[in-house]
């Protein structure tokens, strides 16, 4: 229970409500969290302590400019007003959520407990609460509690295996949600390419933000976006190449640059790649994809 209260105060009332934490805490939340210091520790809904103090939230918003899926609307930079009709927008919301989960899992394995807890919890208020009407319309069961449960498990110091089980449950829910994406008539290859291009641009934006300071959170965000772009491309590379060789080749080049930019989940003392090189690689993909 103390871990749930800690998560509430760290991430703000918005995340607690979005993830069902207040319901889970019941009356105890009012007594324990409502004491001296709780209100002062809590930050704005949808904003983490890191975002308020170190600029993570601002950096991520900056990453919302890439791809068809990103329109700068809604928290997390996803144009949720089009998600019920545009499969790229819909898939982008799922990919952003997956990126946070991947980053959280790997950060926890690397001993970054607080960062991992925040990464697991962020999508609940950044993206998924905005997507609730879309998910309800498409018949997708609410899976925000899976993210906050994983965050609490991290704060409780559960084993890596137990956290991995929670991560697997999140991924399973995301894959199930993907099966209910809206149909716009676009090919699977075009949809995959649009989502991957968006994740590449987000990773590029986060890298530029990272280069302007030494905060870990923007780097960790970018790492997650890169990893999701890479794994999604592994599943769809052949189809993308068959339909659009230029887009395929641009993605290959961009992922090669991002692999150097994000070598590990922990931020290196010195960033290895010039931000301009990362931006150029992302721009090539965006141009080829028509973004």
pLDDT in tens, 114-152: 999 999 999 988 889 999 999 999 999 999 999 999 999
Look at residue 169 in the predicted model and tell me its pLDDT: 98
Answer for the pair 39, 70: CB distance below 8 angstroms, yes or no: no
Closest listed residue to residue 181, CA positions, set 94, 96, 76, 243: 94
Is the per-residue pLDDT at 64 higher than 50?
Answer: no
- Continuous H helices in the chain: 2-11, 13-19, 21-25, 27-32, 38-41, 49-54, 56-62, 87-109, 113-123, 129-138, 144-155, 160-178, 188-211, 216-243, 245-261, 275-289
Report, as an integer, the average pLDDT of 42-57: 32
- Domain residue spans in the chain? 55-289
Answer for the pair 209, 55: CB distance below 8 angstroms, yes or no: yes
Per residue in 240-266, pLDDT (tens digit) is 999 999 999 999 999 999 999 999 999
The DSSP-derived string for 93-108 is HHHHHHHHHHHHHHHH
């Amino acid at each position: 229970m103390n871990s749930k209260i800690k998560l509430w105060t760290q991430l703000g009332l918005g995340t607690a409500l979005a993830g069902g934490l207040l319901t889970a805490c019941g009356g105890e939340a009012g007594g324990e969290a409502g004491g001296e210091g709780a209100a002062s520790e809590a930050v704005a809904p949808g904003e983490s302590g890191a975002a308020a103090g170190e600029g993570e939230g601002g950096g991520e918003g900056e990453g919302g400019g890439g791809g068809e899926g990103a329109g700068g609307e809604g928290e997390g930079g996803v144009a949720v007003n089009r998600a019920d009709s545009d499969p790229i927008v819909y898939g982008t919301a799922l990919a952003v959520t997956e990126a946070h989960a991947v980053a959280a899992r790997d950060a926890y394995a690397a001993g970054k407990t607080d960062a991992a807890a925040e990464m697991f919890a962020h999508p609940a208020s950044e993206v998924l609460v905005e997507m609730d009407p879309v998910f309800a319309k498409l018949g997708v069961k609410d899976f925000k509690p899976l993210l906050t449960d994983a965050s609490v498990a991290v704060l409780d110091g559960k084993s890596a295996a137990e956290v991995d089980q929670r991560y697997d449950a999140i991924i399973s829910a995301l894959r199930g949600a993907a099966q209910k994406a809206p149909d716009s008539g676009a090919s699977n290859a075009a949809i995959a390419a649009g989502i991957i291009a968006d994740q590449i641009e987000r990773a590029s934006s986060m890298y530029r933000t990272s280069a302007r300071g030494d905060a870990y959170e923007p780097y960790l965000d970018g790492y997650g976006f890169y990893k999701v772009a890479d794994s999604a491309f592994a599943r769809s590379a052949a189809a993308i190449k068959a339909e659009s060789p230029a887009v395929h080749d641009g993605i290959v080049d961009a992922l090669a640059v991002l692999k150097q930019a994000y070598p590990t989940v922990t931020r290196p003392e010195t960033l290895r790649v010039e931000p301009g090189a990362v931006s150029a690689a992302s721009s090539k993909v965006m141009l080829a994809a028509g973004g």
